[in-house]
Structure 1
Amino acid sequence: MTRHLHGILALLLVTLVWGTTFPAMKDLTGHFSAVWIILVRFALGALLLSPFLWRGKLDDMRSGAILGVLLFFCFVFQVEGLALTTSNRNAFICGLNVLVVPLLGVLGGRLPERRIVLALAMSVAGLAALCWDGGAWGLGDSLALMSALCFGVYIKVMEVRTRRATRLLTVTAAQIGTVALCAALWLLAREVPGDAAVRSAWLGGVMEAIGQHRWNFLYLGVIATAAIISLQTWGQSRTSANEAAVVYAFEPAAAAFFGFLWLGEALTPRGWLGGLLLIAGVIISQWNAERRPAAALAPE
């Protein structure tokens, strides 16, 4: 088996595991706020990847901090949206993030290529079919779309920052730690009660709930964040970014499959048609696209 095929298989595994994170986080939104879910997940991931910060270059850590702030808002919108819509619908809309990068070029004055126009048309048709299948467009869908836009900006910034990185895993560890730090600061500013007695009871209730859902959090933090992002880095070093983007385009389908197994959510044939149009749009957007660094793709 060739080095290239090893990379493709690794990215397929990454995509499957990413697909499970949507129903896993959807399951937690009934018990925790979005920021609590982000904090626990990324704090566990940061703890496991912290050895890569040892003797890390200052510029790599700075890049990780910038990317971490962007990634925090990506996940805030994504998880807040999950609380208000189904996990499979959220996954298909968030999957549009790959289209944001060429759209940023359009805003910068570059005329879109034909493949981008076709990809956008298919994606809009796919969104229409999904909404027709699952009800009118709602706040949860808008938040998922905001998450896709943030992920697109994140991808573009990562493209720039990874070109100058000395060690990619240091950048990864720094950004995951920054996400956890941003979540902690957000909680302190917006969710922690001011009264000491109320705060103590509130924290006790949250800690008890985390203990009850520990396996879900351990899966998200250890497997879906620390292990899978490391595998993603390894796999992308053996493939092109465009190949990786095409593999990742099937993540929403994986999310829909695991959403059915985990939560009992099901798409009708019209919903699957919409999802397939979205996936096809993403793949077409990457067809013969200009090359970019293999690390310039977003983790989920």
Structure 2
Amino acid sequence: MTQHLRGILALLLVTIVWGTTFPAMKDLTVHFSAAWIVFVRFAIASVLLLPFLVRGTRRDIVNGAVLGLLLYLCYALQVEGLALTSSNRNAFITGLNCVFVPLIGVFLGRGVEKRIVLALVLSVLGLAALCWDGGRWTFGDTLSLACAVSYGFYIRMMATRTQQATSLMTLTAAQIVTVCVCAAVWLLLHEVPRTPVDLPNDYNDYWEYIGRSLAQHWLNFAWLGVICTAAIISLQSWGQRHTTANEAAVMYAFEPGAAAVFGYFWINETLTARGWLGAALLISGMIVSQWNTESRPAASLAPE
């Protein structure tokens, strides 16, 4: 087996693992707020990637921190949206970030390419079919779409920062730690009770519930933090080193499809024939938007 084929298989595995994050987080939204899910997941990954941060340069750490602030917004919108819509719809809508990247370039003054127009048409038709399958457009879908737009800006910013990076792993570790810190600050300011409000045992009840829920769902968090965030980054880095930009783009476009499959087996979510038609149109739009791009997809080492 050649290194090139191994690289393709590595990115295929990356895409499959990324697909599991949607049902895994959807399962957790029943018991935790978005801030708790993001905090625990990235706290676990931060511990594992800390050595790259310690050995990194100041410029990589600062750039990673800036990217991490925007990445936290992406995750907050994604998980909040996930709590209000199905993991299938969330996955396909947020997957549109790769279409928004070139669209943002158009708004910033770049010329309109035919492939972008075609990608946009396919994506709009796909969204229409998906909504026709799963009911009217919801606020959760709006949050998911806002996540896709935010992720588009994040990817464009990452394209610039990665070119300046001495170590991509340090840049990534700084992002992950920043996301963790942002989630912790949000929890302290908006969710964690600091004083008894109504009853003397309110404070203890809160921590008892969190502790009990963490103990019950530790496997989901371990999967998200260790495998989907920390471990998969190394495999993604190696795989992209041995494949082309177009091959990586095609692989990543199938992530929502993987999410739909795992959504069925993990939390019993299904798509009808119309839903799968919408999914196929969306995936086609994602592939077209990235096909024959000038360089490797800028989402390199961006955890899903």
TM-score range (shorter-chain normalised) is over 0.9
Q: Is the 8 A contact 1:154 1:298 kept in 2?
A: no
Q: How does 1:113-152 map to 2 (within 5 A)?
A: 113-152=113-152
Distance 1:109 1:58 in 2: 32
Q: Is the 8 A contact 1:101 1:155 kept in 2?
A: yes
Please give the per-residue CA displacement for 1:226-271, whole angstroms capped at 9, x wherever unaligned: 1012211221122233321211100011000000001111100000
Q: Is the 8 A contact 1:239 1:294 kept in 2?
A: no
Q: By how many angstroms is 1:51 displaced? A: 1.1
Q: Verify: 1:234 aligned to 2:226, yes or no.
A: no
Equivalent residue for 1:209? 213
- Deviating above 6 A after TM superposition, structure 1's stretches of 4 or more consecutive aligned residues are none
Distance 1:295 1:130 in 2: 25
Q: Which moved more, 1:119-128 or 1:185-194?
A: 185-194
Q: Is the 8 A contact 1:151 1:298 kept in 2?
A: no
Q: Is the 8 A contact 1:240 1:294 kept in 2?
A: no
Equivalent residue for 2:225? 221
Q: Is the 8 A contact 1:233 1:295 kept in 2?
A: no
SS at match of 2:271: coil
Please give the per-residue CA displacement for 1:14-47, whole angstroms capped at 9, x wherever unaligned: 0000101100000000000011000000000010
Q: Is the 8 A contact 2:237 2:301 kept in 1?
A: no
RMSD: 1.3
Q: By how many angstroms is 1:204 displaced? A: 2.4
Q: Is the 8 A contact 1:14 1:231 kept in 2?
A: yes
Equivalent residue for 1:41? 41
SS at match of 2:84: coil
Equivalent residue for 1:270? 274
Distance 1:14 1:292 in 2: 16
Q: By how many angstroms is 1:221 displaced? A: 0.6
SS at match of 1:59: helix
Q: Verify: 1:243 aligned to 2:247, yes or no.
A: yes
Unaligned ranges ≥5, structure 2: none
Q: Which moved more, 1:246-255 or 1:48-57?
A: 48-57
Q: By how many angstroms is 1:295 displaced? A: 5.8
TM-score, reference length from structure 2: 0.95
Q: Is the 8 A contact 2:129 2:274 kept in 1?
A: yes
Q: Which moved more, 1:121-130 or 1:172-181?
A: 172-181
TM-score, reference length from structure 1: 0.97
Unaligned ranges ≥5, structure 1: none
Distance 2:295 2:177 in 1: 29
Q: How does 1:167-186 map to 2 (within 5 A)?
A: 167-186=167-186
Q: Is the 8 A contact 1:61 1:171 kept in 2?
A: yes
| Distance 1:207-1:60 versus aligned 2 partners, 3 A rule | same
Q: By how many angstroms is 1:192 displaced? A: 1.2
Task: Report the AA paired with residue 110 of structure 1.
Answer: R
Aligned residues between the structures:
300
Q: By how many angstroms is 1:287 displaced? A: 1.7
Please give the per-residue CA displacement for 1:259-285, whole angstroms capped at 9, x wherever unaligned: 000111110000000000000011111
SS at match of 1:83: helix
Q: How does 1:40-119 map to 2 (within 5 A)?
A: 40-119=40-119
Equivalent residue for 1:187? 187
Distance 1:58 1:85 in 2: 40
